[in-house]
A and B are shown apart, each in its own frame.
Chain A
Amino acid sequence: MSLATSASKRPINKDLLAFAVIAALLLLVLPLTLDLFRLNLVGKYLTYAFVAVGLVLCWGLGGILSLGQGIFFGLGGYCMAMFLKLEASSPENTAIQSTPGIPDFMDWNQVTELPWWWVPFQSFPVAILAIIVVPTVFAYIIGAAMFKRRVGGVYFAIITQAIAAILTILIVGQQGYTGGINGMTDLRTLLGWDIRTDSAKFILYFVNAALLLGVILIALYVKGSKAGRLLIAMRDKEDRVRFSGYDVANFKIFVFCLAAAFSAIGGAMFALQVGFMSPSFVGIVPSIEMVIFCAVGGRLSIFGAVYGALLVNWAKTTFSESFPELWLFAMGGLFIAVVMAFPNGLAGIWKSYVEPIWARLRERPRPAPTTPVTAPPVPLPVASIAPIPSQAAAE
């Protein structure tokens, strides 16, 4: 890995700087400048950033566009919500029901006892485990079935979309067990701790931000590792990587599962912070919106994804407060503008416009990272373009 260390020494330093900036922003600037209501909103936006970071890995690096990240966000969120709902449905809280002790929506739908697959969610450790494991296993099944058969690109996008649609219909249709279209509402406490209070919201914001920073670190590690480079290589010339002896499918499955796990954490944190979960996060529309967060931030930039999620959601909230009707025009325009004019999103703009100015100001000539330093130790003909994230995703 001499290439990775020598050629990308600078980018890693830059990554550290960017990480410090984002950590300061999330942990200091925002909490100090925003009132609790807005901070809680930011916390909610940040849960989408988990998905966006996952998408940078699997779409930006790997070229796998999943239009079904909502599946995993939803599964993670539902696992969390099931635990919280069970805790909120203690026999005392639900005394007016015909069957006390089960969630209210079950009672409304004449379910008289807790379904067996709900039972494990009474335990907190199991629920936490399920938040990660259930979506990851699900992603593994999808990924293994598709990538082993070399399904990719557009087909993969459409099939994930279909799966998102199926899951939504299933959740809505089985309302006795899932809460249907209403979702699981009125989640109150986590292990006896009231998550609706102001102090809890404040603490949860920091938990969320810390988790996100952790996820960013993992993502940075993966991006900088050999697997990350192989992913980029696969995106650009899959066959060559395959001919070099790598099992392309396994890398794809890995990154897809990782993105799913990230999304699931986001979903779980969403359920905790907002206090409910609904099938409207599982479907096609939210899944595509999540892709947009990533695209706006820059599909190749992990930090860009976080800023993208923050910015788009912030714009959505403010815009829809003042001009609800115009919001969709703005959003649609944003989609088109990002795709057509700025395929690398905010990060791309930063790279091509801000950084040169920055560099000129510091009067230090920018080292040209495009020059292949040495012959790569791994026989990758495409490795030379790997460290240039600004390389357009155009295949």
Chain B
Amino acid sequence: MIGDYTYDQFFSILAMQGFAGLSLFSVFVLMALGLAIIFGQMGVINMAHGEFMILGAYTTWGVSLFVTSFAPALFPVYFFIAMALAFCASFTLGVLVEWSMIRHLYRRPLDTLLATWGLSLILQQLYRTVFGAREVGVTLPDWMMGSLPLTDIIEVPINGLFVMGLTTLIATSVFLLMFKSRWGKQVRAVTQNRVMAGAVGIDTKRVDRLTFGLGCGIAGVAGSAFTMIGSTGPTSGQLYIVDTFLVVVFGGAASLLGTIASAFAISQAQSTMEFFLSGSMAKVLTLLTVVGILMLRPQGLFTLKIRR
């Protein structure tokens, strides 16, 4: 394969594939962060995570329609409004779901999986009924489209950069929130020992609810960002769910750092292999490797010692 290309081209390939990997990495991180918070901190498996994401995407679509018809002047910056609203929408739904369903199931992790799967079916059909079965297209402001040419072969997509920037921002905020804020301390306390946390006066129910809401809210922002690179339809959310779970599990469930490391490893592996193999085989090989490693090291890349 290398033989067909000049040295210069080969260098470009590496750079471009690296960049492709990086944008896949941001996608994974955006999806997985919310899931990791919920799964890692609360032990709840949220199979409807993809649907929370799509709620964010539909919110973005709604905002774009609203802005184009009522306030065209705002169009260049509407995306930021949309992301904020997407967060709010998914957060609200998340809190609602936690209140009505999840809190009754905290001691039955496998059952949360089934119940949220049911929820995902309902949400999918709800989207289909409300927004129609067809996909909707979200129009982006001009400044977000196009690319920056670096060399004559290497061009960097602006929306890719935007997603990466967003990912960094969100990941940093989550870290600050988790490790520097009072609330984060409470979350970690509840994770490590729920009963003790309750005994020292932490309102564990409130912490749970907000944690779940936050995870869903991040999914909403992810959905908003995904309108730039993917499709928005009633079933789009399902496309990401398995990959994302693998990222979280591979990283070590309770470790946010692990999630990021595993997202990086999986995305780079997949995009590198995609260049040399067919798309299908690259995906199979990546997943196989991940499953293989997980069989050898079930606790994932990073582990947090907690009392079970």
Contact = CB atoms under 8 A, between A and B. Distances in A.
Interface stretch (A185-193, A323-331, A359-367, A372-380): A323-331
A162 B125 contact: no
Interface string B171-195: 0000000000000000000000000
Nearest to B123: A332
Interface in B108-126: 108-111, 113-115, 117-122, 124-126
A161 B245 contact: yes
A371 B160 CA distance: 65
A146 B290 CA distance: 14
A162 B284 contact: no
Interface string B240-257: 001001100100010000
A154 B291 contact: no
Contacts of B153: none
A343 B115 CA distance: 11
A217 interface: no
Contact of B114 (A145, A166, A173, A335): A335
Contacts of B118: 331-336, 339
A297 to B, nearest CB: 14
Given A150-B298, A151-B298, A325-B125, A162 B109 contact: no
Nearest to B44: A154
B144 interface: no
Given A153-B109, A333-B122, A169 B249 contact: no
Interface in A284-318: 284, 288, 291-292, 295
A146 B295 contact: yes
A340 B124 CA distance: 20
A169 B107 CA distance: 34
Contacts of B295: 145-146, 149, 151, 159
A335 B246 CA distance: 24
Contacts of A163: 291
Contact of A155 (B101, B104, B298): B298
Interface string A373-395: 00000000000000000000111
A163 B287 CA distance: 8
Nearest to B278: A173
A162 B115 contact: no
B55 to A, nearest CB: 15
B287 A162 contact: yes
Contacts of A157: 45, 110, 113
Contacts of B229: none
A65 interface: yes
Nearest to A331: B121
A184 to B, nearest CB: 19
- Main DSSP-derived SS at the B contact region: helix
A333 B104 CA distance: 16
A42 to B, nearest CB: 24
A334 B117 CA distance: 11
Contact of A343 (B111, B119, B298): B111
The winner among A162, A170, A338 for most chain B CB atoms within 10 A is A162
Contacts of B104: 340
Contacts of A249: none
A12 interface: no
A339 B128 CA distance: 25
A172 interface: yes
A211 interface: no
Interface in B277-308: 278, 280-281, 283-284, 287-288, 290-291, 294-296, 298
Interface in B89-136: 101, 104-105, 107-111, 113-115, 117-122, 124-126, 128-129
Contacts of B298: 146, 149-151, 155
Nearest to A161: B242
Contacts of B125: 325, 328-329, 332
Contacts of A134: none
Nearest to A144: B295
Contacts of B124: 328
A165 interface: yes
A333 B284 CA distance: 34
A329 B122 contact: yes
B114 A165 contact: no
A340 B100 CA distance: 10
A292 B287 CA distance: 26
A162 B283 contact: no
Contacts of B290: 162
A328 B287 contact: no
Interface string A205-236: 00000000000000000000000000000000
Nearest to A283: B242
A153 B120 CA distance: 21
In the A-B complex, the 6 residue pairs with the smallest Cβ-Cβ separation, listed nearest first, are A335-B118, A173-B280, A332-B122, A332-B121, A328-B125, A151-B298
29 contacts: A67-B113, A145-B295, A149-B296, A150-B298, A151-B298, A154-B39, A154-B113, A155-B294, A155-B298, A158-B45, A158-B245, A159-B295, A161-B242, A161-B245, A162-B246, A166-B288, A288-B114, A288-B117, A291-B114, A325-B129, A329-B121, A329-B125, A332-B125, A339-B118, A340-B104, A340-B105, A343-B108, A393-B111, A395-B108
Interface of B: 39, 43, 45, 101, 104-105, 107-111, 113-115, 117-122, 124-126, 128-129, 242, 245-246, 249, 253, 278, 280-281, 283-284, 287-288, 290-291, 294-296, 298
